[in-house]
Chain A
């Protein structure tokens, strides 16, 4: 099993450009999450999904959109990138049978110039 994978690993955008980050998991997990990690601020939840076709806002959703068309995939979109979105983005998934232990992908390092 590959676990949780993310593409791309690195990306540089110019202000105003758009892009989509892809997260895929092969563990048949119901729940999926997108976080951003900035220095000194831990992880902050952007959006999450509790199942195929569902999405919900987290702590910092502004400027991002998500979609969960297939159970194994969770996409994070930036419609018009801003320098404040420079960050490392992590995707995670959990089974939520007995608990919400989340398994993380390797991360995407995004720089917006």
Chain B
């Protein structure tokens, strides 16, 4: 059975700090996506990672993909309150995506 595991599930961090969210998956795939969801809202695409070693950066967020280790990371640099949200990784299995259970991030002053 395909599993997509994120950790941590909950993350409370202080503004200005750095942290990394991990996404492990159990099957072969070289495509992975990161989404953000604000409370009560829909999912917004953040990053599209399409090959081993892919790295994408947007503002204080940087995502990377290691297909050999079946691992993607979402690194947060100098967190700010506006980054508070739930972050999902999703593994591309040809036609469909399999989502992780999400990491709820709360950034406090």
Binding site for B on A (CB under 8 A): 31, 33, 40-45, 48, 50, 56, 58, 90, 92, 96, 98-107
Contact partner of A42 among B48, B50, B99, CB < 8 A? B99
Within 8 A of A (CB), among B40-65: 41-45, 48, 50
Tell me whether chain B's interface is mostly helix, strand or loop, or mixed: strand
Q: List 29 A-B contacts (CB under 8 A).
A: A31-B95, A33-B96, A41-B101, A42-B88, A42-B99, A42-B100, A42-B102, A43-B88, A45-B96, A45-B97, A45-B98, A48-B95, A48-B96, A90-B42, A92-B43, A98-B50, A99-B31, A99-B48, A100-B92, A100-B96, A100-B97, A101-B33, A101-B45, A101-B48, A102-B33, A102-B97, A104-B42, A104-B44, A107-B41
The chain B residue sitting closest to A48, CB to CB, is: B96
Given A40-B101, A98-B50, A103:B45 Cβ within 8 A:
yes
CB proximity to A under 8 Å, residues B61-82:
none
